[in-house]
Amino acid sequence: MRGSHFERAIMNEVKDLKKQIDDAQMKLNMKIKQIADLRKEITDLNALISAIRGKINQIQSFETLEVSDHAIIRWLERFRGVDIEEIKNEILDETTVKLISALGVDGRYNKRVVKRGVIVTILP
């Protein structure tokens, strides 16, 4: 009888120890997950900091404000009443159209520089 009481005590002790292992393993797994979550959060925060630094650099490197030619044309058209279509027709007059049609889509015709069928500038 003594042997069986002793065996039960050992089995209970082993059972308790195994439960302690399971509990410790569960805590360890939770800590590992927390570490993984923290690593991801650190990565995300580093990316945010980098993006903010980029914006700061962009703002600090800003020197002058420019206006595009397109914006100037739209301003003239919408606020000064300039008829852009009329100007296009003046630039692309009948003589120029005949020259371009006869001589090709690239070249200089009547002070107009043409590239790939587009008048890209007017010479003085």
114: Cβ contacts below 8 Å, ≥ 6 apart: 100, 105, 106, 107, 108, 120
Which tens digits make up the pLDDT trace of 77-109? 999 999 999 999 999 999 888 888 888 878 888
- The pLDDT assigned to 3 comes to 63
Encoding tokens for residue 64? 């002058």
User: Are 37 and 88 in the same domain?
Assistant: no
Which tens digits make up the pLDDT trace of 49-78? 999 999 999 888 877 888 999 999 999 999
Its domain, for residue 91, covers 69-122
User: Are 52 and 96 in the same domain?
Assistant: no
pTM: 0.46
User: Are 90 and 59 in the same domain?
Assistant: no
User: Are 56 and 111 in the same domain?
Assistant: no
User: Are 53 and 80 in the same domain?
Assistant: no
User: Are 35 and 53 in the same domain?
Assistant: yes
Which tens digits make up the pLDDT trace of 3-53? 688 888 999 999 999 999 999 999 999 999 999 999 999 999 999 999 999
- The pLDDT assigned to 55 comes to 93
- What is the edge-to-edge ordering of all strands in the sheet holding 112-115? 107-109, 112-115, 118-122
Question: What is the number of domains present in the chain?
Answer: 2
